[in-house]
């Protein structure tokens, strides 16, 4: 085989492309380094007067303030408050929406009937409902949860309905030929085949749950990260704003990985294929 | 000729589908009989309506007219009584091998422990012991189709409907599975209707071959295959094999000349 590069050499070449940092630890080091450099440049920029600390804040101030409100317990309680609203909204909205979307599989007639209404509701920017939601549900916890539900339910509904419609008709036919009734087809073929896209919806909806909670807090609240960010920015207290934002970021980040763990537990049959990537 | 009563009679079945340019008649007055423990292959040009017949027998489609008789009794369909196996193995990707084999018994509400014992026994008989907890995507095409065959057999169906079950497999695997099928059919005393585009396979496996004409499908001729070989591979070296093979080729060739 004169035209082929020897196998060992090719393997070595491939390894070089990925570099020796291409391990979990190596990547973590590079990622942490990038974050450190980012904050260092920011801090130096502020110290040297290139960046206005008044308009964008400074890492030293952000960390000092974070340490202070962590010690006082304020950050934990605000974080918990927002987290609770977002998760509650996410769970209620996603379950409610998914069940409704799946149920539409049972009747093509009903599904066709309500489709334009779903499209109409989906096209309303739900954030625009926030003031009314506060009017209806007050300034407490319930209005934020309601806002999160309004954002997540419709996404879950559309995704679940679409996934149920897309369930492989041949698998359903096979069950029918075995004598399965409609419920069995639903639970044995339709529901399991919608799970992957349901989980994908969880990912999107975690974000929407947080949006609902934070926007609700912007409008009126005495607690939560949204409230913290809103009041601080009206006082030009940028460091506090950043503490709130970074906490939200960390929360979203953690939730993303929690969903990944859920995915791995619910969809063990999906795992085998996700690792392979085409070598070019 | 001895007269054996038919297990399944397809009588004057008609079926059209709505197409862009009006209705397309796929089955026009189709009739044939399947005897007890028969092994009948159906061959015919592709698109002539073979899958449609199966869908009607399995109760997935309703005929426009005509009837089905099962052991002399008029029935709507054989839904729940047939083992339908398609070209795609149609294993449920989220179920393990064991879970897939159990599908039909679950549907029937058979006791779980009892069903599982039976499933393990079948898996062992078909050389799949040790793969109970594997997911379908980790199996080879031949293994997957074997799992599909077990899933079909374990329900003890009255009739097996096999729609080009081996056509997606390579030749060696196909030969091997033909043997597995033939043995299983003899062990479990099953009636089989096999749709295939492979004349060679039809002759090697069947007792009778039904040749269908092009759309709309009608029975053109039925050939009795009188090869009594112990295996499909042995059947291929029977001295009558090539005679049947060429006769069936001729039937289909005339067909293709007519339609094209
Ligand atoms: N559900 C359907 N709707 C419309 N046309 C169909 C449908 N099913 C099959 N047909 C048409 O009927 C003809 C016969 O199909 P089929 O039974 O699958 O053929 P075969 O299995 O012999 O290849 C084809 O021309 C196909 O396009
Ligand atoms: Mg077909």
Cα A117 to Cα B114: distance, rounded to the nearest angstrom: 48
Q: Same domain, yes or no, for A196 and A251? A: yes
Residue A55 lies in a domain: no
Q: Which of B79, B94, B135 is facing A177, going by the closest CB pair?
A: B79
Q: Same domain, yes or no, for A147 and A11? A: no
Q: Same domain, yes or no, for A36 and A169? A: no
**Running DSSP on this structure, what letter comes out for residue A81?**
H
**In this predicted structure, what is the pLDDT of residue A42?**
94
Q: Same domain, yes or no, for A24 and A159? A: no
Kindly list the residues from chain A whose CB atom is less than 8 angstroms away from the CB atom of residue B135. 268-269, 272
Cβ–Cβ < 8 Å for B14, B64:
yes
Residue A56 lies in a domain: no
Q: Where are the beta strands (DSSP E) in B148-250?
A: 159-163, 191-195, 208-212, 219-224
Ligand located closest to B46 CA: 1
In this model, does residue A18 exceed pLDDT 70? no
**In this predicted structure, what is the pLDDT of residue B229?**
82
To the nearest whole Å, the CA of A173 is away from the closest chain B CA by 7
Domain that holds residue A31: 4-42
**Running DSSP on this structure, what letter comes out for residue B4?**
-
User: pLDDT for A67-115, tens place per residue?
Assistant: 999 999 999 999 999 999 999 999 999 999 999 999 999 998 999 999 9
Kindly list the residues from chain B whose CB atom is less than 8 angstroms away from the CB atom of residue A184. 107
Cα B192 to Cα B160: distance, rounded to the nearest angstrom: 5
Cβ–Cβ < 8 Å for B158, B83:
no
- Bridge partners (DSSP) of residue B35 are B6
Q: Same domain, yes or no, for A31 and A114? A: no
Ligand located closest to B216 CA: 1
In DSSP notation, A2-35 reads TTS--HHHHHHHHHHHH-TT-SHHHHHHHHHHHH
Element (H, E) at B68: strand B65-70
Total domain count, chain A: 2
- To test ligand 1's pocket by mutation, which of B26, B50, B255 has the most ligand atoms within 8 angstroms of CB? B26
Element (H, E) at B35: strand B22-35
Smallest CA separation from ligand 1 atom 10, residue: B17
In this model, does residue B1 exceed pLDDT 90? no
Asked, as a colleague might, if the bond just before A274 is cis with ω within 30 of 0, I would say no
Q: Same domain, yes or no, for A17 and A137? A: no
> Can you tell me which atom of ligand 1 is nearest the CA of B54?
17
Instruction: List, in sequence order, the alpha helices (H) in chain A.
Output: 7-18, 24-47, 53-56, 59-72, 74-103, 108-123, 130-137, 141-166, 169-177, 182-185, 191-219, 224-234, 238-266, 268-274
Cα A143 to Cα A221: distance, rounded to the nearest angstrom: 10
Q: Same domain, yes or no, for A14 and A132? A: no
Residue A54 lies in a domain: no
Q: Same domain, yes or no, for A23 and A128? A: no
A61-64 long-range CB contacts below 8 Å, 24 or more apart?
A61/A239, A62/A239, A62/A242, A62/A243, A62/A246, A64/A239
User: Which of B78, B83, B94 is the best residue to mutate to test the A interface, defined by the most A CB atoms within 10 Å of its own CB?
Assistant: B94
Kindly list the residues from chain A whose CB atom is less than 8 angstroms away from the CB atom of residue B59. 176-177
Element (H, E) at B66: strand B65-70
User: pLDDT for A184-198, tens place per residue?
Assistant: 999 999 999 999 999
- Quick one: pLDDT band at residue B250, thresholds 50, 70, 90? confident
Residue of A nearest to B80 (CA): A179
A179: contact with B, CB 8 A cutoff: yes
Residue A250 lies in a domain: yes
To the nearest whole Å, the CA of A171 is away from the closest chain B CA by 6
**In this predicted structure, what is the pLDDT of residue A39?**
95
Q: Same domain, yes or no, for A149 and A34? A: no
Closest among B141, B150, B86, B165 to B118, alpha carbons compared: B150
**In this predicted structure, what is the pLDDT of residue B10?**
92
Tokens of B135: 């997911």
Q: Same domain, yes or no, for A103 and A226? A: yes
- To test ligand 1's pocket by mutation, which of B45, B47, B194 has the most ligand atoms within 8 angstroms of CB? B47
Residue A62 lies in a domain: no
**In this predicted structure, what is the pLDDT of residue A274?**
47
To the nearest whole Å, the CA of B100 is away from the closest chain A CA by 11
User: pLDDT for B116-131, tens place per residue?
Assistant: 999 999 999 899 999 9
Residue A64 lies in a domain: no
Q: Same domain, yes or no, for A131 and A9? A: no
Instruction: Output the average pLDDT for chain B.
Output: 89
- Quick one: pLDDT band at residue A12, thresholds 50, 70, 90? low
To the nearest whole Å, the CA of B85 is away from the closest chain A CA by 8
CATH number of the structural domain spanning residue A81: 1.10.3720.10
B216 Cα to the center of ligand 1, angstroms: 11
What are the residues whose beta carbons fall under 8 Å from the beta carbon of B29, sequence distance 6 or more?
A: B12, B13, B14, B66, B218
In this model, does residue B57 exceed pLDDT 80? yes
User: pLDDT for B213-233, tens place per residue?
Assistant: 888 888 888 989 888 888 888
Cβ–Cβ < 8 Å for B186, B180:
no
Q: Same domain, yes or no, for A11 and A111? A: no
B107 and A188 within 8 Å at the Cβ level: the answer is: yes
Other Cβ atoms less than 10 A from the Cβ of A155: the count is 21
* Cα B213–Cα B198–Cα B24 angle in degrees, nearest 5: 35
ipTM of predicted complex: 0.89
Domains of chain B with CATH codes: 39-251 (3.40.50.300)
> Can you tell me which atom of ligand 1 is nearest the CA of B217?
22
Q: What is the pTM of this model?
A: 0.85
Q: How many CB pairs under 8 A join A and B?
A: 59
Q: Which residues line ligand 1 (CB under 6 A)?
A: B 17, 26, 46-52
User: pLDDT for A20-73, tens place per residue?
Assistant: 778 889 899 999 999 999 999 999 999 999 988 888 899 999 999 999 999 999
DSSP, collapsed to helix, strand or coil, labels residue B236 as helix
Ligand located closest to B62 CA: 1
By residue count, chain A amounts to 280
User: pLDDT for B165-182, tens place per residue?
Assistant: 998 889 999 999 999 999
Residue A59 lies in a domain: no
């Amino acid at each position: 085989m004169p035209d082929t590069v020897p196998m060992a050499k090719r393997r070595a070449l491939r390894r070089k492309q990925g570099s020796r940092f291409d391990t979990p630890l190596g990547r973590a080091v590079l990622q942490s380094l990038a974050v450190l450099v980012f904050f260092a440049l920011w801090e130096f920029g502020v110290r040297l007067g290139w960046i206005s600390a008044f308009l964008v804040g400074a890492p030293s101030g952000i960390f000092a303030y974070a340490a202070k409100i962590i010690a006082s317990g304020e950050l934990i309680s605000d974080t918990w408050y927002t987290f609770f609203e977002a998760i509650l909204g996410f769970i209620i909205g996603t379950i409610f929406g998914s069940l409704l979307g799946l149920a539409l599989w049972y009747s093509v007639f009903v599904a066709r009937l309500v489709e334009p209404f779903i499209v109409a509701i989906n096209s309303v920017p739900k954030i625009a409902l926030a003031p009314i939601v506060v009017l209806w549900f007050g300034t407490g916890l319930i209005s934020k949860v309601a806002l999160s539900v309004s954002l997540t339910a419709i996404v879950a509904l559309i995704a679940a309905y679409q996934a149920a419609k897309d369930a492989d008709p041949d698998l359903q036919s096979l069950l029918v030929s075995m004598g399965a009734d409609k419920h069995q087809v639903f639970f044995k073929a339709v529901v399991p085949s919608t799970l992957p896209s349901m989980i994908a919806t969880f990912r999107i909806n975690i974000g929407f749950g947080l949006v609902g909670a934070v926007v609700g807090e912007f409008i009126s609240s005495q607690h939560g990260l949204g409230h913290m960010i809103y009041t601080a920015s009206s006082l030009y207290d940028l460091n506090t704003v950043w503490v709130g934002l970074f906490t939200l970021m960390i929360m979203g980040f953690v939730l993303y990985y929690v969903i990944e763990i859920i995915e791995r537990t619910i969809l063990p049959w999906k795992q085998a294929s996700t690792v392979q990537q085409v070598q070019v | 000729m001895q007269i054996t009563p038919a297990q399944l009679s397809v009588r004057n079945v008609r079926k059209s589908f709505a197409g862009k340019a009006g209705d397309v008649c796929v089955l026009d007055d189709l009739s044939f009989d399947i005897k007890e423990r028969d092994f009948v292959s159906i061959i015919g040009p592709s698109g002539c309506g073979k899958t449609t017949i199966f869908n009607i027998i399995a109760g997935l489609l309703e005929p426009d007219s005509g009837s089905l008789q099962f052991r002399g009794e008029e029935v709507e369909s054989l839904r729940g009584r047939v083992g339908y196996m398609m070209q795609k193995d149609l294993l449920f990707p989220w179920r393990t091998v064991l879970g897939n084999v159990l599908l039909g018994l679950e549907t029937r509400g058979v006791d779980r422990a009892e069903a599982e014992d039976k499933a393990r026994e079948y898996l062992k008989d078909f050389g799949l012991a040790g793969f109970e907890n594997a997911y379908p995507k980790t199996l080879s095409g031949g293994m997957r189709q074997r799992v599909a065959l077990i899933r079909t057999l374990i329900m003890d169906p009255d009739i097996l409907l096999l729609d080009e079950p081996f056509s997606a497999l390579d030749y060696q695997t196909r030969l091997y599975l033909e043997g597995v099928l033939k043995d299983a059919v003899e062990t479990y005393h099953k009636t089989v209707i096999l749709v295939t585009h492979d004349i060679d396979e039809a002759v090697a496996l069947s007792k009778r071959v039904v040749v269908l004409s092009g759309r709309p499908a009608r029975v053109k001729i039925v050939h009795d295959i009188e090869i009594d070989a112990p295996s499909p591979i042995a059947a291929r070296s029977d001295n009558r094999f090539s005679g049947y093979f060429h006769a069936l080729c001729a039937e289909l060739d005339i067909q293709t000349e007519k339609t094209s």
